[in-house]
Chain A
Amino acid sequence: AQKVTQAQTEISVVEKEDVTLDCVYETRDTTYYLFWYKQPPSGELVFLIRRNSFDEQNEISGRYSWNFQKSTSSFNFTITASQVVDSAVYFCALSEALWNFNKFYFGSGTKLNVKP
């Protein structure tokens, strides 16, 4: 079974629109971490956010915001007023161990196309 599901394969929006990327995860651990990474066309994964399982506060960083809902096992990512530079593939990832550097379970990624 997929531990991290990103159901949206590809999304296209027009610049300045808001867009939400969905991420649903599955784990039996009580301690886990969730991540979002951005992969622009150049290929390098850029770290965006890390959220631990005990902190359900939503986070906002500029135009980016994240909504962590343990009740629905979701960790959604919203870009407000999207820009062309936001075009990339976005990956959600789950890590199930705090100190043991266990492997990341990556979602399949969502490709975001922001058109001018």
Chain B
Amino acid sequence: GAVVSQHPSRVICKSGTSVKIECRSLDFQATTMFWYRQFPKKSLMLMATSNEGSKATYEQGVEKDKFLINHASLTLSTLTVTSAHPEDSSFYICSAALGPLAGANTDTQYFGPGTRLTVL
């Protein structure tokens, strides 16, 4: 149980284009989803927390107009990197947490497999 998928797993795009990454909780409803960015050989950096039906909460230093997050349903959140530039190239990982009615482990985050974005 608690499987999270991400699509695409890998994307290469030209500078200036926008890229959408999907994060889905496959076998549970996720009230909250998180988006992280990971640079090579580095730890995960939280970008934003996304609650279903409300605006995402961005971490300090993360441009909300550049990294658009939509959490339209309890099983789907999307991250759109707008007008991507080479410096946006990174490994983007989403995670999902069980809702409060799920009992134990509501605070455990289950991670997707990640999306490797390369901007040329």
Q: B85 CB to closest chain A CB, in angstroms?
A: 22
Interface size bracket, A side: 20 to 34
| Contact between chains at A91 and B44 (CB < 8 Å) | yes
| Contact between chains at A99 and B106 (CB < 8 Å) | yes
What number of residue pairs across chains A and B have CB atoms under 8 A from each other? 59
Q: B119 CB to closest chain A CB, in angstroms?
A: 18
Q: How many residues of B contact A (CB 8 A)?
A: 27
| Contact between chains at A103 and B49 (CB < 8 Å) | yes
- On whether A107 and B105 interact (CB within 8 A), knowing A37-B111, A44-B113, the answer reads no
**Taking the complex as formed, is B67 at the interface, i.e. its CB lies under 8 A from any CB of chain A?**
no
**Taking the complex as formed, is A113 at the interface, i.e. its CB lies under 8 A from any CB of chain B?**
no
Q: B15 CB to closest chain A CB, in angstroms?
A: 24
Shortest Cβ-Cβ A-B pairs, 5 listed: A45-B111, A44-B113, A101-B32, A43-B114, A108-B43
